[in-house]
């Protein structure tokens, strides 16, 4: 997803910052290409990961380049559903290092936000 299609386009931020061989992805919400949030934690987690994958592809990187994710979920009861979607998206691993925090999110209806640190070197 790009800033121009996101409902967040008025927020002064970039989708990522680059420092050397590292990309620091801003937190991704589950907005689809039409600006809609899917229902449920698994669908939102999958959409967040798809948004991350699209950003990485545009930078000639892949999900395998992710070294660390930080994940915010709004309800600890959603941990299992998000974890299932995360496992399904990354397959058998290896998985990136990961932190998960339960917290309110700024946008109404958002259940999850994921940011990533990505290594793009050799």
Position 14 scores a pLDDT of 73
Location of structure tokens 């209806």: 109
Position 121 scores a pLDDT of 84
Position 30 scores a pLDDT of 96
Position 12 scores a pLDDT of 66
Angle at 80 between CA 29 and CA 33, to 5 degrees: 25
Q: Reduce the DSSP state of residue 27 to 3 states and report it.
A: strand
Domains in the chain (CATH in brackets) are 16-119 (3.30.1330.40)
Give 10-residue mean pLDDT values along the chain (122 residues).
46 78 94 93 97 94 96 98 94 93 94 97 79
């Amino acid at each position: 997803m790009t800033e121009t299609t996101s409902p967040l386009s008025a927020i002064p931020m970039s989708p990522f910052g680059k420092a050397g061989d590292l990309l620091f992805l801003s937190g991704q919400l589950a907005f689809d290409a039409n600006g809609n949030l899917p229902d449920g934690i698994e669908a939102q987690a999958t959409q967040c990961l798809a948004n991350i994958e699209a950003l990485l592809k545009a930078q000639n990187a892949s999900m395998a380049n992710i070294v660390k994710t930080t994940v915010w979920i709004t309800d600890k009861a959603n941990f299992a559903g998000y974890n299932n979607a995360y496992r399904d998206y990354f397959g058998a691993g290896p998985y990136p290092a990961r932190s998960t925090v339960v917290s309110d999110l700024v946008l109404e209806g958002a259940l999850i936000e994921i940011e990533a640190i990505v290594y793009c070197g050799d």
